[in-house]
Amino acid sequence: MSTASPNTQQAAASPALLEVENLTVRFRLGRQNEFTALHGISYAVAPNQTVALVGESGSGKTVSALAVMDLLPRTNTIITPESRLRFNGEPLLEESPAQRRLRCGGQISMIFQDPMTSLNPVYSVGEQLVEILQLHAICPTRAAARARAIELLGEVGIPDPRQKVKSYPHELSGGQQQRVMIAMAIACAPRLLIADEPTTALDVTIQQQILELLVNLKRSRGMSMLFITHDLALVREVADRVVVMNQGHIRESGATGQIFEAPADNYTRALLACRPRIDRRPVKLPVVEDFMKGSYDIDSVAERERGVDSDDTVVLEVDHLRKTYPVKTGWFGEKQFVAVDDVSFRLARGKTLGIVGESGSGKTTLGKAILRLHEAQGGSVRMNGVDLLKLSRAEFQPYKRQMQIVFQNPYASLNPRFTISDILLEPMRIHNLHAGDAERIEHATALLRQVGLSASDLRKYPHEFSGGQLQRISIARCLALKPDILVCDEPVSALDVSVQAQVLNLFQALQDEFAISYLFISHDLNVVKYISDEIMVMHNGAMVEYGNADELYRNPQHPYTQRLLAAIPGRQRHS
């Protein structure tokens, strides 16, 4: 690696708190099968330093952290003898499991991606904090531990900690849960905090607050931090050094400024470029392959013009749509929870309407209500003048052909017991398209080619594909019906950055070719900006702003929209 010299300089200046040297981790998968997750990686974390491990899924970034924490399953993990892990100069790999466990929580602690599953749902947050404090003998008595727990909750910015200490995880919001996790992690004053995707499961605005909290805590407590994430843009604001990983290898490591200003490695360059940016809209997004082949000039690609004119043909008219859920209150009471409230919009042929909002804003419910996957309680959805909500099931059947949906999680939306051929032929069989199965198979093959897969994939099962390929297959399934409207419910959120770009390019190519209209639901403001002609911002079920994409981003009117746009990671430096 070309970046070895700054690394050694740093180590000479101050002895590293954590040194990972030549770490190779293998997993036993079967009797003979082995999978090498890490190929001899080395990095170091100095005191008071934040190091970011950045990589896509399967890059081994989390495995290296788990190896430091001794959390890898003992039964099938092999850490090769050449590997060295030193914490504060002491070799970790030579210690007994009991010694390792004592370090966990005490000197090294970790926070995980999903706070909801990391907290025990049957104990109050106070009890969980007290348990840690007593386990590591920080506080001698229960009362002292309780008082300390309240202090800690205050420190991580939970409002009214005296009351909240008694609450259970489900009574807290996602952001507050993550704050509690952070409180637990810092309870024993660790010297190293490992944060594994701490903000990925959170909404944009909350993400920003948690990041600030982590940075402040690190500064005030003099901790070191190992920050693991897939999002390179996020890292810029928190990290001193960045380590870019790919498939168990370190591609590049260096100071944050150098990585962002002058990336040496093609993969790093690709990661930086293939995220859609808020200020640019190329005709085609660059993908990792473009960079791996050699130099690729982003600025050479033309910009795409977007926006809706008044003379575009309208294919879908939604007026005053309302969707409520009954919520039980007490034993007998019931009240209506309004998930979507008075939403109206027009969708033009061949255009994209982006729907933006945080979790719980009703954007997914809106999409499903339009497709009648959920029953709406009011308003109308009109296509060619016919109100779809008033039709009977049988009358609605032909309209299902014209509106299709792509779900967020491609692993869940394809039936695991069906072959790809079953999956692609089914819609044609249900709607009786084409004469006979031979013709349908021919069409399915053509569809697969269109989304970038090959005919031999027809006989495979979903588990043999990667997430990005599966999302292509679910797009092909929708295309089998030649729909006019495609509802895309967070279609790229579950995908890796580089795959995201490929799928977005596919969406764009299909729109250019077939003039399909998209209803593109996403919490990712960069992605929505890239793909949308118009944008609707939703907040608590209501539509707060609706207009042409460029105008809305340039000049947001509603305070909520302004807050949302301000929270985009890395925005300050770009503009």
Among 405, 552, 564, 565, binds another protein (CB under 8 A): 405
Residue 438 interacting with another protein (CB under 8 A): yes
Query: Which residue bears the tokens 């950055």?
Result: 497
Among 81, 416, 436, 559, binds another protein (CB under 8 A): 416
| Contact region with another protein (CB under 8 A), list: 140-148, 286-294, 421-429, 543-551 | 421-429
One-letter amino acid of 142: R
Among 119, 353, 458, 479, binds another protein (CB under 8 A): 458
Q: How far apart are CA 273 and CA 290, in angstroms?
A: 10
What kind and span of H or E run contains 553? helix 549-554
Residue 417 interacting with another protein (CB under 8 A): yes
One-letter amino acid of 516: I
Which of helix, strand or coil describes residue 210? helix
| Contact region with another protein (CB under 8 A), list: 276-284, 344-352, 435-443, 552-560 | 435-443
Residue 464 interacting with another protein (CB under 8 A): yes
By beta-carbon proximity to another protein, the closer residue of 149 and 448 is 448
By beta-carbon proximity to another protein, the closer residue of 151 and 442 is 442
Q: How far is CA 255 from the centre of its chain?
A: 25
Query: Which residue bears the tokens 């089998």?
Result: 480
Residues 481-500 that bind another protein (CB under 8 A): 481
Residue 554 interacting with another protein (CB under 8 A): no
| Ramachandran quadrant class, 157 (left: phi over 0; alpha: psi -120 to 50; beta: rest) | left
Residue 414 interacting with another protein (CB under 8 A): yes
| DSSP-assigned letters across all residues of 306-372 | ----TTSPEEEEEEEEEEEEEEEETTTEEEEEEEEEEEEEEEETT-EEEEE--TTSSHHHHHHHHTT
What kind and span of H or E run contains 439? helix 436-450
By beta-carbon proximity to another protein, the closer residue of 245 and 425 is 425
Site mask for another protein (CB under 8 A), range 358-387, x = bound = ----------x--x-x--------------
- The answer to whether residues 198 and 190 touch, using CB atoms and an 8 Å cutoff, is no
- Burial class, 428, CB count within 10 angstroms (exposed 0-12 / middle 13-18 / buried 19+): buried
Residue 20 interacting with another protein (CB under 8 A): no
By beta-carbon proximity to another protein, the closer residue of 296 and 461 is 461
Residue 326 interacting with another protein (CB under 8 A): no
- Number of C-beta neighbours around residue 394 at 10 A: 7
Site mask for another protein (CB under 8 A), range 117-146, x = bound = ------------------------------
- The answer to whether residues 487 and 370 touch, using CB atoms and an 8 Å cutoff, is yes
Distances (CA, A) of 405 to 294, 409, 422, 446, 478: 37, 12, 18, 20, 7
Residue 512 interacting with another protein (CB under 8 A): no
| Contact region with another protein (CB under 8 A), list: 57-65, 283-291, 382-390, 403-411 | 403-411
Residue 424 interacting with another protein (CB under 8 A): no
Would you say the C-alpha torsion 188, 192, 193, 194 has a positive or negative sign? negative
Among 461, 493, 550, 563, binds another protein (CB under 8 A): 461
352-356/534-539 β-pairing: parallel
* Smallest separation, CB 448 to another protein (Å): 9
Residue 431 interacting with another protein (CB under 8 A): yes
| Contact region with another protein (CB under 8 A), list: 7-15, 162-170, 224-232, 451-459 | 451-459
| Ramachandran quadrant class, 124 (left: phi over 0; alpha: psi -120 to 50; beta: rest) | beta
Among 253, 404, 511, 522, binds another protein (CB under 8 A): 404
Q: How far apart are CA 382 and CA 45, in angstroms?
A: 59
By beta-carbon proximity to another protein, the closer residue of 290 and 489 is 489
Nearest-Å Rg of the Cα atoms of the chain is 26
* Smallest separation, CB 240 to another protein (Å): 38
* Smallest separation, CB 419 to another protein (Å): 7
Would you say the C-alpha torsion 204, 210, 214, 220 has a positive or negative sign? positive
Residue 76 interacting with another protein (CB under 8 A): yes
| Contact region with another protein (CB under 8 A), list: 109-117, 236-244, 313-321, 455-463 | 455-463
| Contact region with another protein (CB under 8 A), list: 158-166, 177-185, 303-311, 395-403 | 395-403
Give the binding-site size for another protein (rule: CB under 8 A): 43
Which of helix, strand or coil describes residue 110? strand
Residue 412 interacting with another protein (CB under 8 A): yes
The site for another protein (CB under 8 A) is made up of 31, 73, 75-76, 368, 371, 373, 397, 400-401, 403-405, 407-409, 412-419, 421, 426-427, 430-431, 438, 441-442, 445, 455-456, 458-461, 464, 474, 477, 481
